[in-house]
Amino acid sequence: MPKRSIIYIDGFNLFYGALKGTKYKWLNLERYFTLLRQDDTIQEIKYFTAMLDGQKKLKQEIYLLALETLPKVNIYFGKFKTKKVNCTIKDCNYSGDRLFNVPEEKRTDVNIAIHMLNDAVSDRCERLVLVSGDSDLVPALHMIKNVTPQKEIIVYIPARSVVRGAAVELRGSADKDRILPNNLLAKAQFPQKIPDGMGGTITKPEKW
């Protein structure tokens, strides 16, 4: 019998690990994970992200609108917080303040952790499928296995390099672990234009 599963996606981890620099960023998550998890009955696909600033924001907003047309996809937001970082370039000749503002994504790993734990103890699924390489999620996976040992945790690491794909701690905390398959990306792209459900269309951003 197919098992109920919920997919948890760290949006930025997916982007930087598997999509950046490719022509596959216009990714239909529902189509992709239906192809990937053919033995599962997918209950929900939870996509965790935070809103960007500047020129990238418009493309992100368009993609999120596309995701919102998918019945099984729900989007959960963290946020960016500015932090001060000291310049560590030894030969830098800049004479002013060597502290720089750098945006840091916040809450995503916490959001993923509480959703996974709540879904496990609420018996919303038999399988929890995590798409991330973030070791900050290791304690959450341990807690889920401790409280609901019958639940199966599967981790997919978004990676195109050996270094990024290592994720030793995270892999060791799951029942099964794999590199996220890149060969399915081309088979799970949105069409160039998508009906928005209100009489309009959502168009794929240019050069994206």
pLDDT in tens, 2-27: 899 999 999 999 999 999 999 999 99
pLDDT in tens, 164-199: 668 899 999 999 999 999 999 999 999 999 999 889
The SS3 call for residue 191 is coil
- What single DSSP character describes residue 52? -
- Say what angle helices 138-147 and 108-121 make with each other, to 10 degrees: 10
- List the domains of the chain with CATH numbers: 3-79+106-203 (3.40.50.1010)
Taking the CB of residue 151, how many other CB atoms lie within 10 A of it?
Answer: 18
Rg (CA), the chain: 19
